[in-house]
């Protein structure tokens, strides 16, 4: 009997590997050629008198009403020129990343065939960690000053933010922006709904970034992923016993969904927990749903109401 079970397990394993290979082969055959424009180089290597030409070439980076003095100061300010030099040291050769973008958008077009292949434009922004990478239909804008490595001397940010200022976070950030733009916002404002909303965009990374680790998809360290896995049933029981799942209290969002140094259970475990544990649980719910409803496409998943996903997920945390 044991030998039979082992044979079944191995058969399923090789079948799943075969299916993955089939998908990846189809993805590889999708023609995509991502173009990259280095606006950061154009801007900082232009002479002040050439600013009008730069504005004409990239009007969307120069909001109406802003005095040219602002841009001229940034162009010549020593600290910003130092930032530019640091960006060039790290990203002088952008071709490896361009290939990663190509691979990402081959996957995007596989699951969303009507999606246009966007142009990637690199910038040096204003150190705004809420706008590190932005997907906007025909454009992907990447603020390279926020991907210099978590230990970079420029970063005066809390560790929970800095840990994602790595090159390896560019693609996950782009997928997050793509997903947030394409997942309809539900009228359901409960914590469970928000958890599943986040779970959808994290599940998108499972399909669009298959070579990335769960830690990279989540923006966690490996240790933080391990903590969630080990405490999954404990967290789930806490949400249920505290009657939080169907609560629309906006404070729950900051406690369990938005980036934070830790989640706020108001228990001894808080200091050991990572932030966004509610989003991580939502991811596991969506994974469970898709495992039990594997005929649902990613595009269809985005549109399904959170309540239906939860009810059909048959989610049970691992013991």
Mean pLDDT of the chain: 93
**Predicted pLDDT of residue 66:** 86
Quick check: 14 pLDDT over 80? no
Report the half-sphere exposure of 83 (CA within 13 A, side-chain side): 22
pLDDT tens profile 82-103: 999 999 999 999 999 999 999 9
List the single range of 15-19, 200-204, 301-305 with lowest mean pLDDT.
Answer: 15-19
pLDDT in tens, 42-78: 999 999 999 999 999 999 999 888 899 999 999 999 9
pLDDT band at 16 (very low <50, low <70, confident <90, very high): very low
pLDDT at 2 over 50: no
pLDDT of residue 206: 98
pLDDT above 60: residue 1: no
Q: What pLDDT shows up at residue 3?
A: 47
pLDDT, mean of residues 302-315: 97
Q: How much of the chain, in percent, has pLDDT values that exceed 90? A: 88
pLDDT-based confidence at residue 33 (cuts at 50, 70, 90): very high
Residues written for the chain: 319
Read off the pLDDT of each residue in 250-254 and give the average, rounded to a whole number. 96
| CA–CA dist 102, 30 (Å, integer) | 10
Q: What is the pLDDT of residue 65?
A: 82
What's the pLDDT at 21? 76
Mean pLDDT of 233-259: 97
Q: What pLDDT does 19 receive?
A: 55
User: Contact 265/227 with Cβ under 8 angstroms?
Assistant: no
pLDDT of residue 248: 97
Q: Count Cβ atoms within 10 A of the Cβ of residue 30 and give its class: 0-12 exposed, 13-18 middle, 19 or more buried.
A: middle
Q: Considering only CA atoms, which of 31, 19, 18, 168 is closest in space to residue 103? A: 31
| Among 9-23, 136-150, 262-276, 303-317, the least confident range | 9-23
Distance (Å, rounded) from C-alpha 87 to C-alpha 96? 15
Q: Give the CA diameter of the chain.
A: 81
Percent of the chain with pLDDT over 70: 93
Across the range 300-306, mean pLDDT stands at: 97
Range scoring the smallest mean pLDDT among 5-9, 65-69, 158-162: 5-9
CA distance 306 to 289: 11
**Mean pLDDT, residues 116-130 taken together:** 96
Query: Which pLDDT does position 10 carry in this prediction?
Result: 45
Cα radius of gyration rounded to whole Å, the chain: 22
pLDDT digits (tens, 9 = 90+) for 199-221: 999 999 999 999 999 999 999 99
Give the pLDDT score at 20: 63
């Amino acid at each position: 009997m044991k030998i039979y079970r082992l044979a079944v397990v191995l058969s399923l394993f090789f079948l799943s590997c075969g299916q993955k290979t089939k998908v990846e082969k189809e993805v590889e055959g999708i023609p995509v050629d991502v173009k990259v424009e280095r606006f950061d180089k154009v801007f900082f290597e232009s002479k002040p008198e050439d600013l009008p030409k730069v504005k004409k070439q990239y009007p969307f980076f120069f909001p109406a009403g802003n005095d040219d003095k602002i841009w001229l100061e940034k162009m010549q300010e020593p600290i910003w020129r130092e930032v530019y030099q640091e960006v060039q040291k790290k990203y002088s050769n952008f071709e490896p990343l361009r290939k990663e973008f190509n691979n990402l958008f081959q996957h995007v077009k596989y699951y969303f065939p009507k999606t246009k292949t966007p142009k990637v434009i690199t910038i040096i922004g204003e150190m705004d960690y809420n706008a590190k990478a932005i997907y906007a239909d025909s454009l992907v804008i990447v603020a390279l000053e926020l991907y210099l490595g978590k230990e970079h001397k420029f970063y005066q940010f809390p560790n929970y933010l800095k840990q994602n200022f790595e090159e390896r976070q560019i693609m996950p950030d782009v997928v997050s922006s793509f997903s947030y733009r394409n997942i309809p916002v539900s009228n359901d404002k409960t914590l469970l709904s928000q958890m599943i909303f986040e779970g959808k965009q994290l599940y998108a990374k499972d399909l669009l970034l298959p070579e990335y680790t769960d830690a990279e998809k989540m923006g966690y360290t490996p240790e933080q992923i391990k903590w969630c896995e080990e405490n999954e049933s404990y967290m789930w029981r806490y949400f249920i016993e505290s009657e939080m799942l169907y609560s629309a209290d906006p404070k729950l969002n900051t406690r369990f969904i938005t980036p934070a140094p830790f989640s706020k259970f108001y228990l001894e475990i808080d200091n050991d927990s990572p932030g966004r544990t509610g989003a991580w649980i939502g991811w596991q719910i969506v994974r469970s749903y898709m495992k039990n409803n594997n005929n649902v496409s990613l595009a269809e998943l985005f549109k399904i109401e959170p309540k239906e996903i939860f009810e059909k997920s048959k989610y049970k945390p691992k013991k």
